[in-house]
């Protein structure tokens, strides 16, 4: 078993006087994909934001490829290849698809692979080619999510974090997105995924953390199996 790329140790974070994460520890990027699941509002997004530098942790450490990246700027973290696709629509509405993808490749290491990555993104999401000069504000929710993931791929990820990639999408477009996420994984990019769709998560990941009250309540390690019904029991507390 290889060493994890990402190690989060005893991390605490919150907002103002509210502590959301209280000494949480997770690891990812060793063998396969990691899934985070649990009830709404218990800190999954906060954990991802603290990992990618969008929120300064109050205590604990984040280590990526052996380097302590705790408290580094998001830009410095992106530069190291740890890329986070936040939940919801965070794209600039007046940019075109072409602009967004070009922005994704702004770091020197990503620029070096810009052309090859653009072709990969367009092979993954052929719809984007036909809408190349269309502004984000005129795209559907599914197309925006494709642009968000595509922009992250342009940053040449070593480890890719996806926060609820299929949230709010109609079934057909959701299937397209799920297939694309599998293809990204097959291409060799390890993933950390927060997702409410348990079937999707069980198929995609082999290492799961059940996050409850800002802590890991249950960890399901690679090789340990878990039935859908067990996961449902965790969600509903029986
Ligand atoms: N910017 C913010 N300012 C203040 N409180 C926040 C902020 N963002 C999140 N919180 C609070 O932190 C707690 C954890 O939220 P978080 O988004 O991390 O949960 P989550 O598990 O990802 O939930 P969901 O699945 O609904 O996204 C919630 O109580 C939320 O209200």
In a domain? residue 210: yes
Question: Could you tell me the strand order of the sheet in which 207-212 lies?
Answer: 82-85, 159-163, 191-194, 34-37, 207-212, 215-220
Pairing mode of beta strands 82-85, 159-163: parallel
Decide if 222 is inside a domain.
yes
1 occurs within a structural domain: no
The answer to whether position 109 is within a domain reads yes
Whether 142 maps to a domain, the answer reads: yes
How far apart CA 40 and CA 125 sit, in angstroms, is 29
Ligand 1 midpoint to CA 3 (Å): 30
Nearest ligand 1 atom to the CA of 48 is 18
We report the CATH number of the domain holding residue 53 as 3.40.50.300
- Domain membership flag for residue 141: yes
How many angstroms is it from 46 CA to the middle of ligand 1? 6
pLDDT tens sequence across 171-222: 999 999 999 999 999 999 999 999 988 889 999 999 999 999 999 999 998 8
Q: Measured in angstroms, how far is the CA atom of residue 60 from the centroid of ligand 1?
A: 19
Total domains in the fold of the chain:
1
Instruction: Please state the pTM of the whole predicted model.
Output: 0.94
Atom of ligand 1 nearest to the CA of 18: 5
Pocket residues: Cβ below 6 A from ligand 1: 15, 18, 20, 40-46, 87
Digit-coded pLDDT (tens) for 123-164: 999 999 999 999 999 999 999 999 999 999 999 999 999 999
Q: Which domain holds residue 106?
A: 6-236
- Give the ligand 1 atom nearest the CA of 14: 12
């Amino acid at each position: 078993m290889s060493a994890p790329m990402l190690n989060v140790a005893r991390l605490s974070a919150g907002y103002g006087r509210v502590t959301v994460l209280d000494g949480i520890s997770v690891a990812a990027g060793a063998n396969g994909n990691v899934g985070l699941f649990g009830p709404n509002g218990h800190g999954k997004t906060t954990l991802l934001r603290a990992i990618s530098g969008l929120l300064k942790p109050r205590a604990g450490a984040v280590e990526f490829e052996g380097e302590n990246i705790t408290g580094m700027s998001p830009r410095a973290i992106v530069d190291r290849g740890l890329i986070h696709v936040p939940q919801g629509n965070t794209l600039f509405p007046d940019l075109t698809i072409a602009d967004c993808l070009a922005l994704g490749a702004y770091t020197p290491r990503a620029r070096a692979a810009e052309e090859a990555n653009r072709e990969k993104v367009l092979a993954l999401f052929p719809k984007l080619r036909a809408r190349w000069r269309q502004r984000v504000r005129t795209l559907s929710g599914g197309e925006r999510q494709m642009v968000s993931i595509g922009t992250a791929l342009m940053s040449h990820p070593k480890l890719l974090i996806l926060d609820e990639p299929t949230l709010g999408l109609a079934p057909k477009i959701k299937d397209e997105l799920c297939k694309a996420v599998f293809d990204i994984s097959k291409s060799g990019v390890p993933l950390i995924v927060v997702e409410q769709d348990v079937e999707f998560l069980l198929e995609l990941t082999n290492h799961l953390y059940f996050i409850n009250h800002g802590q890991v309540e249950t960890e399901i390690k690679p090789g340990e199996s878990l039935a859908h019904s067990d996961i449902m029991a965790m969600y509903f507390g029986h």
